[in-house]
Homo-oligomer: A and B are copies of this chain.
Amino acid sequence: MAKIGITDNVFAFVPITTVTILGSHVQDRPNFMALGWLTRCNFKPPMIAISVNKSNQSCIGILESGEFSVNVPTTDMVSITDYTGLVSAKKTDKSNLFETFYGQLKRAPLIKECPINVECRVAEKVELATNFLFVGEVVGVHAEESVLTEGRPDPEKVNPFVLSMPDNRFWSLGECVGRAWHEGKSIKRNIR
């Protein structure tokens, strides 16, 4: 099984992530931007890492306020989510695109139309060549009751979408193909 090197590293296929809408305050107004570069990054307390290009107004806003939100849109919101990534707050006021509300943090605007909203306070920031990597401590999570199963968000009810690169396509979730920390148990037994 031959492997070949891919010269254009930027477009390498790693990794797929949930598409979210980043909320921040820019010049005291709510601003929103499609965000696909994020991951959980600390177990306790819960933290998530997001990466934002330095040229984005969202980046400047988060550096100033130390607060941001991550909102999870459904597949019905593909176009409006994508739109937030196509226009800059420099030229277009995006503060009224969504119905917003606030939790504990007053500069982390939350989107009513998104079934899951997470408010974060910046705990660490790392300046990279083109991007800022922000580590946010999760200070509040808000969810529509309709997307919960036994009190916890259920991906099948949330109906999120993910981004793959370099092809730049959005995908819904497919079939459940197993359970984490479970599927490997049969191998564990056999190897023992």
**A interface residue numbers (CB < 8 A to B):** 1-6, 8-20, 34, 36-49, 51, 53, 70, 72, 75, 78-87, 92, 101, 103, 112, 116-118, 123-124, 126, 128-131, 133, 135, 138, 140-145, 147-149, 151-155, 158, 160-188, 191
Query: Can you give 30 contacting A-B residue pairs, CB < 8 Å?
Result: A4-B143, A4-B144, A9-B45, A9-B140, A9-B141, A12-B46, A13-B116, A13-B154, A15-B18, A15-B48, A15-B70, A16-B17, A16-B162, A17-B18, A17-B40, A19-B180, A37-B40, A45-B129, A47-B128, A49-B133, A75-B177, A79-B178, A82-B183, A82-B185, A83-B187, A85-B181, A164-B173, A170-B180, A171-B177, A174-B174
B112 touches A180 (CB 8 A): no
B82 touches A9 (CB 8 A): no
Residues of B within 8 A of A84 (CB): 184
A46 touches B169 (CB 8 A): no
B153 touches A6 (CB 8 A): yes
Q: How far is the CA of A80 from the CA of B38 in the complex (A)?
A: 26
Copies held by the complex: 2
Are A187 and B79 also in contact (CB < 8 A) when A162-B173, A169-B179 are? Answer: yes
B144 touches A188 (CB 8 A): no
Are A2 and B79 also in contact (CB < 8 A) when A13-B116, A168-B181, A174-B171 are? Answer: no
Residues of B within 8 A of A10 (CB): 43-44, 46
Residues of B within 8 A of A92 (CB): 191
Q: Which residue of B lies closest to A3 (CB)?
A: B142
B6 touches A152 (CB 8 A): yes
Residues of B within 8 A of A169 (CB): 155, 176, 178-180
Are A140 and B5 also in contact (CB < 8 A) when A176-B170, A179-B169, A180-B170 are? Answer: yes
